[in-house]
Amino acid sequence: MKSEAILDVAVVQLCSQDDLSKNLQIVRARILEAGRRGARLVVLPENLAYMGPEDGKRAVAESLDDPRAPIATALASAAREANVFVIGGGIPELSDDPLRPFNTCAVFNPQGELIARYRKIHLFDVDLPDGTRLLESASNSAGSEPVVVCVDGFTIGLSICYDLRFPELYRRLVDMGAEILVMPAAFTLPTGKDHWHVLVRARAIESQCYALAPGQWGKHPKGRTTYGKSLIVDPWGEVIAQCSEGEGICYGTIQRSYLQRIRNSLPSLKHRKLTMP
Residues taking part in catalysis = 46, 120, 161
User: DSSP class of residue 222?
Assistant: G
Residue 18 near residue 49 (C-beta atoms within 8 A):
no
DSSP letter at 32 equals: H
- Kind plus residue range of the DSSP H or E element containing 59: helix 54-60
Strands 6-13 and 41-43: parallel
d(CA 7, CA 179): 12
- Of 199, 213, 143, 191, the closest CA to residue 167 belongs to 199
**Can you tell me whether residue 64 is helix, strand or coil?**
coil
Q: How far apart are the first and last CA of the chain?
A: 28
DSSP annotation of 163 reads G
User: Residue 132 and residue 140: Cα distance in Å, rounded?
Assistant: 18
State how far the alpha carbon of 175 is from the alpha carbons of 203, 257, 258, in Å. Answer: 14, 19, 19
Report helix, strand or coil for 171: helix
Instruction: From 179, 190, 127, select the one nearest 148 (Cα to Cα).
Output: 179
